[in-house]
């Protein structure tokens, strides 16, 4: 941002009648053509207490200054799930982040805990939940497991899953809701309940 300061004009009347500039309006040149320049992503204002000179105010985290507009940097559903830094959370974003995310079935499935709050897996065969990635300590995630047909599908767990691990099988009419609470990055406490 550049602010151009116009010359300061003063009206001078000389006491000497012989002065050729007597009674004429003349410009004061001391600030002619000068510019006030600012750094990128700054606003003009004042944060110091009391009245005083204008100050440059930096744009902090969670805000975006672009094309002359100041806006909040709102977190997407993916940002919320991943606990992204320096993002502001809107109410509708929270609800979106809690929506069910479909995880593609594999015989050995490694859950990426930064990509969902609530996940749904349709098992077309027996499943082993390998130790998860991107564990967020202190958070609880939920995984709803179901079968694709009447065949009973078993569920096995990696070594980092602890507690009373469920032994139920799942079918298209017998679901299992599994809670995963991260006590540490390698200690995931498992809870479960029949869901259908």
The domains of the chain, with CATH numbers, are 42-79+85-90 (no CATH), 94-194 (2.60.120)
Convert the pLDDT of each residue in 28-38 to its tens digit.
555 555 566 77
22, pLDDT greater than 80? no
Report the distance separating Cα 128 and Cα 20, nearest Å.
Answer: 99
Other beta carbons within 10 angstroms of residue 113's beta carbon come to: 22
Tell whether pTM > 0.85.
no
More confident residue, 181 or 68: 181
Query: What pLDDT score does 1 carry?
Result: 47
- Compute how many other C-beta atoms are within 10 angstroms of the C-beta atom of residue 135: 22
């Amino acid at each position: 941002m550049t602010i151009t300061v116009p010359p300061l004009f003063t009206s001078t009347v000389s006491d000497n009648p012989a002065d050729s500039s007597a009674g004429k309006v003349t410009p004061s040149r001391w600030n002619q053509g000068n510019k006030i320049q600012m750094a990128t992503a700054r606003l003009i204002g004042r944060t110091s207490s009391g009245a005083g000179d204008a100050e440059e105010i930096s744009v902090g985290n969670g805000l975006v200054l672009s094309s002359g507009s100041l806006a909040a940097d709102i977190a997407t559903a993916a940002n919320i799930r991943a606990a992204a830094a320096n993002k502001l959370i809107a109410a509708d974003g929270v609800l979106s982040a809690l929506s069910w995310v479909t995880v593609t079935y594999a015989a050995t499935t490694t859950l990426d805990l930064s990509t969902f709050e609530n996940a749904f897996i349709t098992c077309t065969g027996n499943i082993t939940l390998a130790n998860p990635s991107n564990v967020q300590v202190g958070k609880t995630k939920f995984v709803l497991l179901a079968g694709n047909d009447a065949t009973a599908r078993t569920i096995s767990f990696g070594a980092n899953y602890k507690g009373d691990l469920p032994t139920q099988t799942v079918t298209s009419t017998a679901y299992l809701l599994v809670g995963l609470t991260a006590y540490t990055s390698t200690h995931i406490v498992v809870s479960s309940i029949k869901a259908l």
